[in-house]
Chain A
Amino acid sequence: MRRSTTLRLAATAVLAGLAATACGTGSADDPANAGQTSQAAEPAAIDSGATVDVRLVLEPTSLDIASTAGAALDQVLLDNIYQGLLTRDEDNKIRPSLATKYEESSDGLTYTFHLAEDATFHDGTKVTAADAVWSLQQVTAKGSKNPDAAALASVKSVSASDDHTVVVKLKHRDTGFTWGLTGRAGVVFEKGTDFSSLAGKENGTGPFKLSGWKRGSSITFVRNDAYWGTKAKVAKVVFHYIKDDNSANNAQQTGQTDIETAAQADLLQPFSDKSKYTVLRGDTTDKFTLALNNASGPTKDVRVRRAIRQAIDNAGLIKTLGGAAKEVGGPVPATDPGYEDLTSIDAYDPDSAKKLLKQAGYGDGLKLTVKIPNIYPTEIGDYLASELKQVGIQLTVRQVEFQTWLDAVYTKHDYQLSLVDHAEARDLYNFADPDYYFGYDNADVQKWYGEAQTASSDSQRDALLKKAARQVSEDAAADWLFVSQTLTVVRSGVTGVPRNFTSNRYSLADLAVAKK
Chain B
Amino acid sequence: MTLYLLRRAGLLVVSLLAASVLIFLVLRLLPGDVAQTIGGIRATPAQVAAVRHDLGLDRPLAAQYGSWIGGVVTGDFGRSVLDGTSVSGQLAEKFAVTGPLAVGAIVLALAFAVPLGVLAAVRRDSRLGSAVNALGQLGIALPTLWVGLLLVVVFAVQVRWLPAQGFPVDGWDEPGQAVKSLVLPWLTLALAEGAVLLRFVRSAVLDVLHQDWLRTARAKGRTRTSALVRHGLRNAAVPVVSVLGLQIAALIAGAVVVEQVFVLPGVGQMLITDVGNRDLDKVQGEILLLTGAVLVIGFLVDLAHRLIDPRLRSAV
Contact = CB atoms under 8 A, between A and B. Distances in A.
Interface size class of B (residues with CB under 8 A): 35 or more
B250 A3 contact: yes
A22 B149 contact: yes
Interface in A366-404: 401-404
B165 A14 contact: no
Contacts, number: 178
Interface in A135-169: 143-145, 147-150
B253 A3 contact: yes
Interface of B: 30-33, 36-45, 47-48, 50-51, 54, 82-85, 90, 93-94, 143-146, 149-150, 152-153, 156-157, 160, 163-167, 169, 171, 192, 250, 253-254, 256-257, 260-263, 265-266, 269-270, 273, 276-279
A56 interface: no
Given A11-B143, A68-B82, A403-B37, A256 B276 contact: no
B164 A250 contact: yes
Contacts of B146: 11, 14, 18
B42 A14 contact: no
Q: Which of A62, A143, A253, A407 has the most CB of B within 10 A?
A: A62
Given A22-B157, A254-B156, A242 B250 contact: no
A199 B83 CA distance: 5
A344 interface: no
Interface string A236-248: 0010101110110
Contact of B164 (A18, A67, A254, A424): A254
A69 B43 contact: yes
Q: Is the interface of B mostly helix, strand, loop or mixed?
A: helix
A215 interface: yes
Nearest to A253: B157
A145 B51 contact: yes
Nearest to B90: A215
B260 A217 contact: no
Given A403-B31, A404-B31, A70 B40 contact: yes
Interface of A: 1, 3-4, 7-8, 10-11, 14-15, 18, 21-23, 59, 61-63, 67-70, 143-145, 147-150, 196, 199-200, 212, 214-218, 220, 238, 240, 242-244, 246-247, 250-251, 253-254, 256, 401-404, 406-408, 410-411, 424
A490 B41 CA distance: 32
Contacts of A196: 84
B118 to A, nearest CB: 25
A44 B180 CA distance: 37
A87 B96 CA distance: 40
A202 B21 CA distance: 37
